[in-house]
Amino acid sequence: MVRKIIIGTRESLLALWQASWVKRILQLRYPKLSMEIKTIKTQGDRMLNTALDKINDKALFTRELEIALLNKEIDIAVHSMKDLPTSLPVGLIIGAITERHDPADVVISKSGVKLLDLPKGAVVGTSSLRRRSQLLNMRQDFIIKDICGNLNTRIRKFAEQDYQAVVLAAAGIERLGWGDKITERLNPEEFLPAIGQGALGIEIRQSDKGILDLVAVLNHSNTDSAVRAERAMLRTLGGGCQTPVGALGLVVDDKLMLRGLIGSLDGTRILKAVDSGSPDFPEVLGQRLASSLIDQGAGEILKQIRN
């Protein structure tokens, strides 16, 4: 018999929305089950004024939640998949990957002007190396300025400071009901998103069969295949959340299509690859796409970034 379920989450507005959504879905499926949400502050939440690319820590937003899982203080940890490192601590697994929201990045500009119509030398806010690389590849005159913090903090800083535009994930903006702020949606097949962007990951203890059975209702098979392919690509490249790597997996007509990208920090060099395979073997496809990028020189770009 499964006891009361404790759902662990970060305490930002978006993280709480995500955990509440998971709780609501589980309660609809299991109305007699008792559930509560427990908020946990991660190291990343304590460093909200530091650009993420300055911190060499792949588990910045997940470690404290994972410790709580291993210590049995919580039963489920809800993450944005793009925050979850490609290698998990021993004893933990991804129990479910939820149906993906729109994976695209969006632009919010103060003047209501689209990205390519911004004035020369426009200040664009992002702390993502992936976004920085692709933005500078589009226009070398952009001035990319770090904008740190959780989503509501970044929105506030954007409004108060000298940014002319900011690039953010559509999923977070729309989940918090701020879709009316969006100026432009960037085509995710061209401006590639972060690995797992738009999907939620449900992390659990590997030994907890009862919880695994419970969270199965949250798993979306096509999203699961797509995100596992993206993560396998990133893992094979040896990159982390804070490297200029993007990917997008899509299942169409029972075939998994995967696009991948790695770019230099100055945007002058962008390597892309596309491949397809079976949704039943997503890791094989991800590894193959990574090999294609490595053949093009991805290792050289990563080495330059690490140096």
- At 275 the three-state DSSP class reads strand
By CB atoms closer than 10 A (0-12, 13-18, 19+), residue 243 is buried
Quick one: tokens of 81? 């998949």
Q: In what order do the strands lie in the sheet with 143-145?
A: 143-145, 123-125, 165-169, 105-109, 184-185
Catalytic pick from 45, 53, 83, 224?
83
The CA distance from 304 to 284, in Å, is: 27
What's the DSSP call for residue 116?
G
The CA distance from 273 to 289, in Å, is: 7
- Residue 45 designated active-site: no
Using alpha carbons only, what angle is made at residue 63 by residues 57 and 65, rounded to the nearest 5 degrees?
155
**Would you please indicate which residues are annotated as catalytic (active-site) residues?**
83
